[in-house]
């Protein structure tokens, strides 16, 4: 038997697209901070909260700044978290969510389409799907080439 889904609060439904994008990035930064604070993320033990927050925000904003050496301070799990945050920041949260919807074969909700239209400077909705596809494929191809060489 399926569990009933929690209704989405009206505040979220009425939120402006730009505010939704900013709130999404803040949520990703907070999630990354929490994951980097886990003992499994660091080699010497724990990381101060401010350093985890800075590393998470820097990764999502794709600035590349850190206060510790990620190669020696973080474990493979911690480095994976940072890599995931960089991917989210580089591609954009909305681009990734649309790509995942398409990958699993579901249609993109109208709300997501409106946010994407706002993010991509009012590109027509039909072109957004093509644009997202090209962005994701180009990024994957470029990262694959970078990994090979």
From 11-20, 30-39, 51-60, the region with the lowest mean pLDDT: 11-20
Q: Does 123 have pLDDT greater than 60? A: no
Given a contact cutoff of 8 angstroms between Cβ atoms, the answer to whether 81 and 41 are in contact is yes
Sign of the CA dihedral with 120 first, then 104, 33, and 11 last: positive
- CATH 1.10.287 in the chain: give the residue spans: 16-91
> What is the CATH class of 16-91?
mainly alpha
In this prediction, residue 40 has a pLDDT band, given cuts at 50, 70 and 90, of very high
Crossing angle of helices 17-37 and 49-60, in 10° steps, is: 130
- Average pLDDT across the chain, whole number: 80
pLDDT digits (tens, 9 = 90+) for 56-109: 999 998 888 999 999 999 999 999 999 989 988 887 766 776 666 667 777 767
């Amino acid at each position: 038997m399926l569990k009933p889904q929690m209704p989405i609060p009206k505040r979220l439904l009425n939120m402006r697209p730009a505010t939704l994008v900013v709130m999404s990035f803040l949520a990703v930064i907070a999630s990354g901070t929490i994951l980097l604070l886990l003992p499994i993320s660091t080699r010497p033990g724990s990381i101060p909260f401010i350093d985890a927050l800075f590393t998470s925000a820097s990764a999502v904003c794709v600035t590349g700044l850190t206060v510790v050496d990620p190669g020696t301070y973080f474990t493979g799990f911690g480095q994976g978290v940072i890599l995931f945050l960089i991917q989210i920041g580089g591609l954009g949260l909305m681009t990734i969510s649309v790509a995942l919807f398409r990958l699993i074969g579901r249609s993109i909700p109208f709300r997501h389409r409106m946010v994407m239209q706002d993010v991509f400077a009012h590109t027509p909705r039909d072109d957004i799907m093509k644009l997202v596809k090209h962005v994701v494929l180009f990024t994957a191809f470029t990262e694959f080439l970078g990994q090979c060489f």
